[in-house]
């Protein structure tokens, strides 16, 4: 199994030593396998317990860049031909401007149980003071209020999360190498899934369309669907879990972290229509049904405090 960046590097080195001008199937297969491993390992985004999209995008971008550099690097060697091989003296050009990325807050502090790797990956505000705060990068931006003991780990263009600093989260974080027992997170997404990616297809132009697709899915139990308006955006609120009577299988379950039972996960979802943008997905998620109601009582006021900066 390919499970380290160095494995990719070694494959690329061997490939480059052979001197091809096209990417062989084996290299493509290795890259695909590496991405698949990463996809199954984490359960964080964009829906409860699922792949951290930011991490996956960074991985895909990095691997793609490595392949492009490898192809271009070989093609530019003296005597080579193929895509990228120079036919005349190169013409100076302006270097491309790097895309803006989220950066960590310079004043952020983190729970004592956070690992160095988690801190390096974080780009949010860290431990929050009681009261009002505002997103820095997330789009659409919003302000929000939190009680004591809440933490913002990520604030990115299409991913934002909050969680309380509790013993339950500390224990789950340690048990599963970076996951939380209870958290709020969200972002715009065309087809969110809730318990099994391979068994769901929740496409829809609006929040109502997505909820209808969910309700028709035999893998899900959807309840408590109501109209809702949060911070100027309207949509649907609902509760969703895996259907205990579903007889299908989920290929993603083999990669779940320790302490996560898909039959016991619970989610309060909010799908909000963002004019001209799509549907904003907000999840209030718990790995265990036992603590979900208590977490909802604490988390719902936080979500209800969201005020979106529309039209900016």
- Give residue-wise pLDDT tens across range 159-203: 999 999 999 999 999 998 888 999 999 999 888 888 898 899 999
Closest CA to 285 of 222, 253, 239, 232: 239
SS3 of 93, please? coil
Is residue 98 situated within a structural domain? no
- Residues 6+ away with beta carbon under 8 Å from 100: none
Whether residue 46 is found in the same domain as residue 172? no
- Give the residue with greater pLDDT, 96 vs 182: 182
For range 287-291, the mean pLDDT: 94
Whether residue 135 is found in the same domain as residue 24? no
CA atoms within 13 A on the CB side of 148: 0
- When computed from its CA atoms, the radius of gyration of the chain, rounded to whole angstroms, is 22
Domain range holding 24? 5-75
Tens digits of residue pLDDT in 12-37? 444 445 554 455 555 444 444 333 33
Whether residue 55 is found in the same domain as residue 136? no
Is residue 90 situated within a structural domain? no
Closest CA to 272 of 224, 228, 307: 228
Whether residue 172 is found in the same domain as residue 66? no
Whether residue 170 is found in the same domain as residue 274? yes
Whether residue 138 is found in the same domain as residue 54? no
Is residue 88 situated within a structural domain? no
Is residue 119 situated within a structural domain? no
Q: What kind and span of H or E run contains 30?
A: helix 25-41
Whether residue 67 is found in the same domain as residue 135? no
What tokens appear for 111 in the block?
A: 């729970």
Q: Which backbone phi and psi does 170 adopt, to 5 degrees?
A: -65, -45
The torsion angle over the Cα atoms of residues 154, 155, 158 and 161, rounded to 10 degrees, is: 50
Is the pTM higher than 0.75? The answer reads no
Is residue 92 situated within a structural domain? no
Q: What kind and span of H or E run contains 297?
A: helix 292-304
| pLDDT bracket for residue 286 (50, 70, 90) | very high
Whether residue 206 is found in the same domain as residue 300? yes
Residue at which a domain ends, from 54, 75, 96: 75
Residue at which a domain ends, from 60, 75, 90: 75
| pLDDT bracket for residue 303 (50, 70, 90) | very high
Q: Are 295 and 219 in contact (CB under 8 A)?
A: no
Least confident of 10-19, 76-85, 215-224, 276-285: 76-85
Whether residue 69 is found in the same domain as residue 180? no
What tokens appear for 3 in the block?
A: 């499970």
Whether residue 66 is found in the same domain as residue 136? no
Is residue 37 situated within a structural domain? yes
How far apart CA 254 and CA 257 sit, in angstroms, is 9
CA atoms within 13 A on the CB side of 257: 23
Whether residue 35 is found in the same domain as residue 160? no
Domain count along the chain: 2
Question: What pLDDT, on the 0 to 100 scale, is given for residue 91?
Answer: 44
Is residue 297 situated within a structural domain? yes
Is residue 123 situated within a structural domain? no
Q: Are 11 and 26 in contact (CB under 8 A)?
A: yes
Look at residue 4 and tell me whether its pLDDT is greater than 90.
no
Tens digits of residue pLDDT in 215-236? 999 999 999 999 999 999 999 9
The dihedral through the CA atoms of 30, 31, 37, 40 has a sign that is negative
The dihedral through the CA atoms of 103, 148, 231, 233 has a sign that is positive
CATH number at residue 256: 3.40.1000
Whether residue 300 is found in the same domain as residue 170? yes
| pLDDT bracket for residue 144 (50, 70, 90) | very high
Residue at which a domain ends, from 56, 75, 94: 75
């Amino acid at each position: 199994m390919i499970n380290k960046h160095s494995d990719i590097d070694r494959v690329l080195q061997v490939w480059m030593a052979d001197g091809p001008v096209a990417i062989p199937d084996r290299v493509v297969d290795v890259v695909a396998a590496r991405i698949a491993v990463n996809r199954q390992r984490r359960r964080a985004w964009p829906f409860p317990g699922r792949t951290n999209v930011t991490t996956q995008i960074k991985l895909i971008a990095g691997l793609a860049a490595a392949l492009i550099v490898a192809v271009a690097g070989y093609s530019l060697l003296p005597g080579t031909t193929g895509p990228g091989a120079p036919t005349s003296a190169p013409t100076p050009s302006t270097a491309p401007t790097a895309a803006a990325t989220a950066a960590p807050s310079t004043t952020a502090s983190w729970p004592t149980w956070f690992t160095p790797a988690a801190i390096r990956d974080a780009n949010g505000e860290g431990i929050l003071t009681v009261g009002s705060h505002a997103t820095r990068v997330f789009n659409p931006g919003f302000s929000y209020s939190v009680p004591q003991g809440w933490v913002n780990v990520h604030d990115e263009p299409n991913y934002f999360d909050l969680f309380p600093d509790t013993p339950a989260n500390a224990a789950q974080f340690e048990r599963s190498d970076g996951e939380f027992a209870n958290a709020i997170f969200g972002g715009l997404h065309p087809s969110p899934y809730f318990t099994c990616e391979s068994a769901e297809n929740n496409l829809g132009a609006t929040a109502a369309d997505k909820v209808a697709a969910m309700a028709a899915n035999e893998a899900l139990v959807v309840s408590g669907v109501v109209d809702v308006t949060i911070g100027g955006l309207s949509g649907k609120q609902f509760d969703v879990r895996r259907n205990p009577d579903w007889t299908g299988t989920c290929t993603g379950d083999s990669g779940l972290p320790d302490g996560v039972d898909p039959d016991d996960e619970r989610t309060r979802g909010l799908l909000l229509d963002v004019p001209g943008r799509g549907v904003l997905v907000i999840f209030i998620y718990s790995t265990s049904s036992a603590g979900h109601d208590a977490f909802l009582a604490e988390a719902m006021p936080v979500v209800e405090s969201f005020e979106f900066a529309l039209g900016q």
